């Protein structure tokens, strides 16, 4: 569910005209749209033809047929029947084919070939969604709180799912890594094109893979998520449902939001994206003080250089992410060390984290991911036995900063940069007899 502001048309018009203000005389702009109504009054419309029927079928079978099946004679005629139903829609082809690839049983293919709902693209997408496991479906529905064409990193999305309790270990008795199960969920959605790789950039700090959701699939998330997920676009019109659980605010209106947000006592996710800078520090504190059930908080506020002390009251908080480029450092209050359930703290790569109570940071025993290039320079990090992501570790000639702290971090994954090892060598040299 999305709420849109009264000034939406004016702001959209400014975005459309922006390229015209910088283009040179004679420049051309190519605009693509799914229907003629969105053509912006263009004098010339160029209709893009569908794929050739045989090309479409070959593409469909490329995604549908497992390479381990050597005898495909039974699958080809059934695949042709299914492909003809899909009206040459590319998104329908990859989603339906993805489900057929996951279930190569010939009877499953035959059943799909008889379904009338595949004759329409929305019907095909709905059928593909129904084939997903219940827990995977819930993870896909969660995307509805993000804006259209929003790009999100794989690990960040998986960790949000885990923070919300959406990811279930298959065998609770075994030491199964919940992140691995979450990655399996992600693979299910990606293999069926529900999540699509948008771009990939090399990075020591993260996987560098950014995913998005097709517009038609975003429409599907709005239909299935209902009032649990609300996205507010450029201000709010109407009343925000009182029992909403997941809220994304793209733009803040101080005349509308404060009192409505404070009434959302069941809110579990709060995402403020696209530099929501109009919210005052006082209103931000009021939000944190009132919404005690928050599990995921993602902030994009340029003025944020100090986290309010009241964050210590969020006893259920599992995930805290700060994505906008803030000042060179962010200071955490002493109360931050009371967030015993916190699983991830994520800040931009160039940000130094400070805390008023560094010696108590090791109390966050459930911390699994410290996504910060500089990391934390606090003692006794070895107590964080669940830690999986730690990019920097600093060795000092002080108690709690010994290299032996890493001995207990058996769950670490990815890259780890150890700084000031020369300090360790110097200490050994000084202690050498004679």
CATH number reported for the structural domain that contains residue 406 in this entry:
3.80.10.10
**Residue 278: inside a domain:** yes
pLDDT score of 122? 95
Helix, strand, coil shares, percent, the chain, to 5: 40, 15, 45
Query: Is 34 inside a domain boundary?
Result: no
> Are 59 and 165 within one domain?
no
| Among candidate residues 84, 107, 130, the one where a domain is terminated | 130
C-alpha dist (Å) from residue 239 to 83, 259, 260, 293, 422: 44, 11, 8, 21, 60
User: What whole-number distance in Å separates Cα of residue 159 and Cα of residue 419?
Assistant: 27
**How far is Cα 307 from Cα 267, in angstroms, rounded to an integer?**
20
Residue at 384 is within a domain? yes
Do 232 and 83 fall within a single domain? no
187, 232: one domain: no
- In which element (H, E) is residue 344 found? strand 344-346
Which strand (E) or helix (H) includes residue 185?
Answer: helix 178-191
Do 387 and 300 have their domain in common? yes
pLDDT in tens, 12-41: 666 667 766 777 777 777 777 766 666 666
CATH number at residue 178: 1.10.10
- Asked if residue 118 and residue 88 are part of one domain, the reply reads yes
Q: What would the pLDDT profile of 148-180 be if each residue is shown by its tens digit?
A: 888 899 999 999 999 999 998 776 545 568 999
pLDDT in tens, 287-322: 888 899 999 999 877 677 788 899 999 999 999 998
221 touches 143 (CB < 8 A):
yes
Q: Is the pLDDT of residue 95 over 90?
A: yes
Banded pLDDT at 82 (limits 50, 70, 90): very high
Q: Are 317 and 311 in contact (CB under 8 A)?
A: yes
DSSP H/E element including 77: helix 75-85
| Position 415 in a domain | yes
Q: Rounded to whole angstroms, how far apart are CA atoms 155 and 414? A: 12
Does one domain contain both 160 and 252?
A: no
Is residue 317 in some structural domain?
yes
**Closest C-alpha among 403, 371, 400 to residue 387:** 371
Distance CA 358, CA 318 (A): 20
Domain termination site, one of 68, 96, 130: 130
Cβ-count burial 62-96 (b if 16+ within 10 Å, e if not): ebbbeeeeeeeeebeebbeebbbbbebbbbbbbbb
| Band of pLDDT at residue 205, cut at 50, 70 and 90 | low
For residues 117 and 170, membership in a common domain is answered with no
- 336/223 same-domain check: yes
In a domain, 311, yes or no: yes
The residue out of 200, 215, 230 marking a domain boundary is: 215
- What is the predicted pLDDT for the residue at 414? 82
Residues 294, 241: one domain? Answer: yes
Q: Are residues 252 and 294 in the same domain?
A: yes
- Do 237 and 283 fall within a single domain? yes
Domain count, the chain: 3
The C-alpha atoms of residue 44 and residue 238 are separated, in whole angstroms, by 39
Q: Please indicate, yes or no, if residue 41 is contained in any of the structural domains.
A: no
Query: Quick check: 341 pLDDT over 90?
Result: yes
Band the pLDDT of 429: cuts 50, 70, 90: very low
What does the radius of gyration of the chain's CA atoms come to, in whole angstroms?
Answer: 25
Residue 285 counted as domain residue:
yes
Pull the structure tokens for residue 63. 């995604």
Task: State the distance between the two ends of the chain, measured CA to CA, in whole angstroms.
Answer: 74
User: What is the share, in percent, of the chain residues with pLDDT greater than 90?
Assistant: 40
Domain containing 405 equals 216-431
Query: Which tens digit of pLDDT belongs to each residue from 370-397?
Result: 888 776 678 888 898 899 988 888 888 8
Q: In terms of domains, do 394 and 369 share one?
A: yes
pLDDT digits (tens, 9 = 90+) for 113-157: 999 999 999 999 999 999 999 999 999 999 999 988 888 999 999
């Amino acid at each position: 569910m999305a709420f849109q502001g009264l000034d939406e048309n004016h702001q959209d018009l400014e975005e459309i005209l922006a390229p015209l203000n910088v283009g040179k005389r004679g420049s051309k702009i190519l605009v693509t749209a799914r229907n003629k109504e969105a053509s912006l009054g263009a004098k010339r419309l160029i209709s893009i033809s569908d794929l050739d029927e045989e090309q479409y079928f070959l593409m469909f079978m490329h995604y549908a047929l497992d390479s381990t099946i050597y005898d495909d004679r039974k699958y080809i005629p059934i695949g042709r029947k299914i492909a003809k139903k899909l009206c040459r829609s590319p998104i329908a082809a990859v989603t339906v084919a993805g489900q057929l690839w996951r279930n190569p049983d010939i009877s499953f293919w035959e059943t799909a070939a008889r379904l009338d709902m595949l004759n329409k693209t929305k019907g095909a997408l709905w059928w593909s969604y129904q084939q997903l496991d219940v827990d995977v479906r819930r993870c896909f529905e969660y995307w509805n709180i993000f804006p259209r064409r929003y790009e999100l990193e794989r690990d960040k999305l998986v960790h949000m799912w885990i923070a919300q309790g959406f990811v279930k270990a298959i065998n609770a008795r075994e030491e199964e890594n919940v992140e691995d199960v979450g990655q399996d969920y992600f693979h299910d959605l990606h293999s069926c094109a529900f999540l699509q790789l948008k771009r990939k950039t090399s990075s020591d700090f993260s996987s560098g893979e950014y995913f998005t959701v097709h517009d038609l699939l975003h429409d599907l998330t709005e239909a299935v998520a209902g009032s649990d997920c609300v996205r507010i676009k450029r201000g709010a019109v109407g009343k925000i449902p009182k029992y909403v659980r997941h809220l994304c605010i793209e733009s803040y209106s101080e005349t509308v939001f404060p009192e409505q947000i404070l009434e959302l006592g069941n809110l579990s996710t709060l995402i403020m994206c696209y530099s929501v800078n109009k919210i005052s520090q006082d209103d931000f504190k009021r939000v944190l003080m009132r919404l005690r059930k928050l599990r995921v908080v993602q902030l994009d506020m340029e003025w944020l250089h100090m986290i309010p002390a009241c964050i210590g009251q969020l006893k259920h908080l599992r995930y805290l992410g700060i994505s906008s480029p803030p000042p060179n450092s962010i200071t955490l209050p002493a109360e931050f060390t009371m967030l015993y359930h916190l699983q991830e703290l994520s800040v931009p790569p160039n940000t130094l984290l400070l805390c008023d109570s560094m010696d108590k940071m090791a109390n966050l025993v459930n911390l699994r991911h410290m996504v910060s290039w500089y990391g934390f320079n606090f003692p006794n990090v070895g107590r964080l036995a669940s830690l999986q992501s730690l990019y920097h570790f600093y060795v000092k000639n002080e108690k709690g900063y010994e290299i032996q702290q890493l001995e207990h971090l058996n769950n670490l994954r990815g890259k780890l940069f150890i700084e000031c090892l020369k300090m360790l060598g110097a200490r050994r040299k000084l202690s050498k007899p004679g």
